[in-house]
Structure 1
């Protein structure tokens, strides 16, 4: 695992670009470039994730010539955190062009300490260990986070169950479930909250293994938090 030590005199972009650690997402070629993620241990003990990209861009009406995807992800992360939605904390984000005008871009985030993919939590027997009352609270917490995101018109755009992380603290009646969302590279704001909601919730339904009773509970919690019923989510 790489060691990250940063002094005030150093350029943050060049510093983080030079850091090296364990690949948790090896570089893959897509969107006209490469993108990968490394795990790095900071000098102050924090565990960081460094997403490193070369020529990895997206195009839109506002950015017809291309913009690094980490900038869009940073915007989404900051937007969600302002809304009180669980998401990683950004440590650094930057992009620059090299002498060949090719983009280099970085997104550095803090690790979600104590969190694990919700699928791993289920597989390890988390539901059985903590009981149905805690599981109901988990579904409600997830629904409330998603409703806050959608009311702010933010759409995750890739809301698969594998991008939902969970942390349970405490035991018995004192146990509390928290959730956080990852992989917001395609996150964007829609014109209306309803459009964001319908896209993401339908996508989550397709890419989750919730039972019919669990989904019914989740939809009840979601529509309560969203403030209105959304036809087609059942």
Structure 2
């Protein structure tokens, strides 16, 4: 079902304290985008970071995402919808299915003067670092830390595909990790950027696609690393025939 408006209970006091509970207030904020605006699809989409304060609460960082006429099609809205509407819906689906992902603080869309406008606000992932940053220091990490990161990523992707969903844009920068509070060398992970996520249709092909896209920016992962990853992902011994078959089927760097 389409999500027209949403404001999370956790975010409400921050938005209320800063008079940002309505679309116009968020839309009119003057902030510097963190990246160049996305001008694909004939529209405009940008992401800004903001820090909000509220009485009795610690300051909290949010990403404010605003777009105009940046549309895609879905089964529920075949004539088009803001891509942030799809992402807000997918965030809710991931949490409902127990797939670790970013959270949604606010979503609303409207049609104004013949143009679709949408706002999606997500809390910053405090303490998390994307997989690209971990990979940049890969050779300096302790072996136990590297193994824990590989296992955590494998578990995350296994959960996603086990729930019969695909990410659709699973670059390593869209996997965020932070040290686990209950394990000295362990990690926990979440997905971000769910605009292209959807249920699996052609399961084997789409799983392989997610894995190959994830691998593209991980050139320091050698054959032994991928064998460990796939063993964990498939819940099979690393030297098993099934792991060998997947290694042969996947296009991986430095395999």
- Using the size of structure 1 for normalisation, the TM-score is 0.83
SS in 1 for 2:229: helix
In the TM superposition, what are the counterparts of 1:34-49 in structure 2 within 5 Å?
A: 34-44=44-54, 45-49=59-63
Q: Is the 8 A contact 2:17 2:53 kept in 1?
A: no
Name the CA shift for 1:118/1:206 in 2 (closer, same or farther; >3 Å): closer
Match of 2:140 in 1: 128
Shift of 1:8: 10
In the TM superposition, what are the counterparts of 1:16-35 in structure 2 within 5 Å?
A: 16-35=26-45
* Higher mean displacement: 188-197 or 57-66: 188-197
Name which of 71, 78, 82 aligns with 2:96.
Answer: 82
- Structure 1 residue runs of 5 or longer lacking an equivalent are none
Name which of 192, 195, 219 aligns with 2:230.
Answer: 219
Q: Is the 8 A contact 1:151 1:193 kept in 2?
A: no
- Structure 2 residue runs of 5 or longer lacking an equivalent are 1-13, 237-241
Name which of 133, 148, 151 aligns with 1:137.
Answer: 148
Shift of 1:66: 0.9
Q: Is the 8 A contact 1:74 1:93 kept in 2?
A: yes
Name which of 121, 140, 162 aligns with 2:173.
Answer: 162
Name which of 122, 129, 135 aligns with 1:116.
Answer: 129
Q: Is the 8 A contact 2:165 2:200 kept in 1?
A: yes
Q: Is the 8 A contact 2:84 2:120 kept in 1?
A: yes
Q: Is the 8 A contact 2:32 2:48 kept in 1?
A: yes
Q: Is the 8 A contact 1:86 1:181 kept in 2?
A: yes
Shift of 1:169: 5.0
Match of 2:118 in 1: 105
Q: Is the 8 A contact 1:154 1:196 kept in 2?
A: no
SS in 1 for 2:45: strand
Q: Is the 8 A contact 1:119 1:162 kept in 2?
A: yes
* Higher mean displacement: 203-212 or 132-141: 203-212
Match of 1:6 in 2: 16
- Using the size of structure 2 for normalisation, the TM-score is 0.77
Match of 2:162 in 1: 151
How many residues are matched? 225
In the TM superposition, what are the counterparts of 1:49-88 in structure 2 within 5 Å?
A: 49-88=63-102
Q: Is the 8 A contact 2:18 2:52 kept in 1?
A: no
Name the CA shift for 1:118/1:67 in 2 (closer, same or farther; >3 Å): same
